[in-house]
Structure 1
Amino acid sequence: MAARPYMSAFLLLLVVLEFVTVMGVTFPQCRPIVADDRDQIQFALNLEFLEAEFFLFGALGKGLDDFDSSSAQGGPPPVGGRIADLEPTVRRIIEEFGYQEIGHIRAITRSVGGIPRPQLNISAEAFATAMNQALDTTLSPPFDPYANSLNYLLASYVIPYVGLVGYVGTIPNLIRKTSLSLVASLLGVEAGQDAVIRALLYERADETVRPYGLTVASFTNRISEFRNQLAMCGVKDEGLIIPVQLGAENRTTSNILSADAGSLSYSRTPPEILRIVYGSGSERRPGGFFPGGGSGRIATLLLH
C-alpha cells in the first residue's frame, strides 16, 4: 500500500515528460555541449573513479590507491569507503566490477591522458542523503549501503547506469575512430554491470527493504524518478517495474534493461550527469558524491 502514492506521482511525471519528448521540445539545459574527443572521454573518468572506489571498498575494504595509485593522478583519496557485509556471490561480482573499473581508468588514461581523481564522498551518510532525497522522507535508521547485500545493490543501482547513459550520449559527438572504438568498448562493460545489478534486484523486486516498509521495486522507481527530476531533461531513467505502455513493445511491465519505447538506450549529456551525481540539480553546485565538483576541463568549465 505504501508504494501506491509514489507510483501515482511517478506515472504523472512520466506523462508530462513523455509529452515534452514527443513534442520535440529541447530545453537549453538539455542540449549537447561542444568539446573535443579528449575532453569528452576524460569527463567519463569522473564516473569511473566513483565506481572503482565504491566497488573496491565495498568488496575488499580498500580502494584504487591500493591497486593502482598512479591512476589517481594525484587526486585525494575518497571519504567514507568501507567493506560491505556482502553474500559471497555478490562480493565476487562486485570485486570483479572493481577490477574492471581499474581497467577502464587505465584504458582512458593511456588513450587520451588522465585527470586528477576528484574528491569523492562514498560514505554511508552520502548514500543516506541521496536515498532520503529520492524517497522524499527521512529514513530511520539512516540507509547504510554497507550494511548488507540488498542495501549495497540498491546503492549500486544509483551509480553504473549514470555512467552508461553518459557513454551513450558521448558517442554521437566523437570524431576519431579510435575514440569511438574506446567508448564502445567501455559502454559494453558498463551496460553489462548495470544489467547484472538490475537482474539481481529484479529477483527481489517484491521483497520489503527492512525496516523501511517499501519494496525493492519501489526503491528503484523512486531513485529513477529522482534522477529524472535532477537532470531536468525528460524520462531517461526507469525503475524495475513500469507501466506496460513503457515496456518492451508495450508488452511487459518488467524493466530489467532500461530502454526507451524503441528498446534503445537512453543518453545523457555531461551537465545532466553532474546534476545527478552532485545531488543538487545544478552542474554549478557540487555536492553529493562530488563535494568539490568533478575533475577535468568540462566539469571545471561547467562549474564556473
Structure 2
Amino acid sequence: MSAVIRRGLSRRNFLAGVGCTAGAAAVAATGCGGSSKVTTPTPNPTITDADVLNFALNLEYLEAEFYLRAATGTGLANSDIGSSAGAVTGGAQVPFKTQAIQQYAMEIADDEQAHVQFLRKALGTSAVARPAINFTDAFNAAASAAGIGPAFNPFADEESFLLGAFVFEDVGVTAYHGAAGLLSSVANLQAAAAIMAVEAYHAGEIRTLIAQTGGSAVTYANKISALRGAAGGGGETSVSTGTIVAADSDSIAYDRTTDQVLHIVYLNATAGSVSKGGFFPNGLNGTITSSAS
C-alpha cells in the first residue's frame, strides 16, 4: 500500500474528515451470511487496502448521489467524481413537509459527500471514478421484487425518501464491519471503524423515523429488509416501534462480505457470480466488482 494512503488515512486526518462527513458500503470479510462473532481473519493477499477502499468509494458514490439529490436536487460536483465518470439516472429534490427530516437529509448528504472526498483524497491517483448509477430502474425493480408494487420513487415524498434511505443504510454498516477482515493497515482499520460509526448513526436515525411514521412505512421497510436478507446472506433485524437496533443475539452488528454486498446492490439474489445490475448497471469500478458466489 502506498505511503499516500497510509498518510491519508491517519487517525488525525480521518477525524478531521469526519467532522463534516459520511458514508456507504465497504467490504468483505469475517463471516458469511451476517455472522458477527469476533474472529481472527486471514487477509486475502491478492486484495490490497486500496482495492478495499475503492470498493467502499463506489458505494459512497451511490449514497452521496442519493442523499444530495434528495436534499438539494443536484449530485456530486465534477471535482468529486473523477474523469470519465458514469452517468446518474434519476433523482430529484424531495418535497419535504417536516423541517426536521429535511435537516436530517441535508446532514446525511453532507456526510456522504465528505466520505467521497475523504476516500478520494486518501487514494489519490488510485481513486476510481464514479460508476454509472441508475436510481429509477433499480428502485422500481427492488419494489417489485420486495412485493411493494411495480414502481417506487423515493424522491416523490418524505415517507418514500425514508424507505429509499433504508435500502442503503444497513448495508453500509454491515459492509464496513466486513471490511475489518481485509484491511492490513491499522490506520485504515481505524478509519473504517470510525466511518462505520457514522453509518450506524445514519441507520439508527432512518430506522427511528420509519418506526415513528408507522403504518405502511414499517410494512414496506420490513419487505425491503427481507429482500436484502435474501440477496445478502441474512443479517437483518425488522423495524418496529420497539426495535431500532440491527444486531445479532449478542447485540453485535452484522457483517457482510463483498459478495453479499454486491448481490444486494446489483439486486441479484441468485446463487453464482454477478458482475453488474441494479443500482450499478455497468458494475462497480476497481478490482472488487464481481461476486464469486
Q: What TM-score does the superposition give when structure 2 sets the normalisation length?
A: 0.78
Q: Structure 1 residue 96: deviation in Å?
A: 1.3
Cα shift readout 1:19-53 (whole Å, capped 9, x = no counterpart): x989x9xxxxxx98652211112101111001100
Quote the Cα distance in structure 1 between the aligned partners of 2:156 and 2:149. Answer: 18
* Structure 1 residues without counterparts, runs of 5 or longer: 1-19, 25-30, 208-214, 242-252
Could you tell me how far apart the structure 1 residues matched to 2:86 and 2:278 are?
16
> Which has the larger Rg?
1
Indicate which of 166, 174, 177 corresponds to 1:165: 174
SS of 2:88's equivalent in the other structure is: coil
Q: Which has the higher helix share?
A: 1
Shift of residue 216 of structure 1? 2.1
**Equivalent residue, structure 2, for 1:230:** 231
Match of 1:92 among 95, 100, 103: 103
CA RMSD of aligned residues (A): 2.3
CA change 1:54–1:21 in 2 (3 A) is closer
- How far is 1:196 from its partner? 0.5
- C-alpha contact 1:72 1:117 (8 A) present in aligned 2: yes
In structure 2, the partner of 1:72 is 81
Other-structure match for 1:259: 247
1:104 is matched with 115
Within 5 A, what are the aligned runs for 1:186-225?
Answer: 186-205=195-214, 207=215, 215-225=216-226
Identify the match of residue 278 of structure 2 among 288, 294, 304. 288
State the identity %: 31
Mapped to 2, the partners of 1:273 and 1:71 lie a distance apart of: 23
The structure with higher relative contact order (CA 8 Å, sep 6+) is: 2
Could you say what secondary structure the match of 2:139 adopts? helix
> Who is 1:63 aligned against?
75
How far residue 296 of structure 1 moved from its aligned partner, in angstroms, is 1.2
Query: Once the 2 structures are TM-superposed, how far is the Cα of residue 163 of structure 1 from its aligned partner?
Result: 1.4
For the residues of structure 2 that align with 1:297 and 1:50, how far apart are their CA atoms? 17
Q: Find runs of 4+ consecutive structure 1 residues off by over 3 angstroms.
A: 31-34
TM-score w.r.t. length of structure 1: 0.76
| Paired position in structure 2 for 1:138 | 149
**Cα displacement string for residues 268-293 of structure 1 (whole angstroms, at most 9, x for unaligned residues):** 01111110011122552421111111
Does structure 1 retain, via aligned residues, the 8 Å contact 2:237–2:245? Answer: no
| Shift of residue 302, structure 1, vs aligned partner | 4.4
The residue number in structure 2 matching 1:151 is 160
Secondary structure of the structure 2 residue equivalent to 1:63: coil
- Assess if the C-alpha contact under 8 Å between 2:34 and 2:256 holds in 1: no
Unaligned runs of 5+ in 2: 1-32
Describe the SS at the equivalent of 2:134. coil
Q: How many residues of Structure 1 are paired with residues of Structure 2 in the alignment?
A: 248
Q: 1:268 aligns with which of 256, 273, 276?
A: 256
- Is the contact between residue 89 and residue 134 of structure 2 (CA under 8 Å) also seen in structure 1? yes
